[in-house]
Amino acid sequence: MRGLLITFEGVEGSGKTTQALRLVEYLKGYEFPVVFSREPGGTQIGERIREILLDPESKGMHRLTELFLYLASRNQHTREKILPALKSGSIVVLDRYADSSVAYQGYGRELGEKLVSRLNKLATAGLRPDLTIVIDLPVAVGQQRKAGGSPDRLEQELIEFHERVRTGYLKLARRAAGRCKLVNGDQPEDQVALRIRELVEDFLIRKGVIKK
Is 107 among the residues that bind ligand TYD (CB under 6 A)?
no
10 annotated to bind ligand: yes
Q: Binder to ligand TYD among 39, 113, 130, 136 (CB under 6 A)?
A: 39
Cα torsion 119, 168, 133, 47: sign: positive
The alpha-helical segments, DSSP class H, found in the chain are 16-27, 44-54, 63-77, 83-87, 98-101, 113-123, 139-146, 159-175, 189-206
65 annotated to bind ligand: no
Q: What is the DSSP letter of 56?
A: G
Q: How many helices (H) and strands (E) does the chain have?
A: 9, 5
Residues of span 125-164 touching ligand TYD by CB under 6 A = 154
Residues of span 82-101 touching ligand TYD by CB under 6 A = 95-96, 100-101
Q: Binder to ligand TYD among 3, 5, 6, 12 (CB under 6 A)?
A: 12
Nearer to ligand TYD, 32 or 36 (CB): 36
Nearer to ligand TYD, 11 or 34 (CB): 11
Nearer to ligand TYD, 7 or 90 (CB): 7
How far is CA 26 from each of CA 30, 46, 67, 154, 207, rounded to the nearest angstrom?
8, 27, 33, 30, 18
Annotated binding site: 10-17
Interface residues with ligand TYD (CB under 6 A) are: 12, 17, 39-40, 54, 70, 95-96, 100-101, 104-105, 154
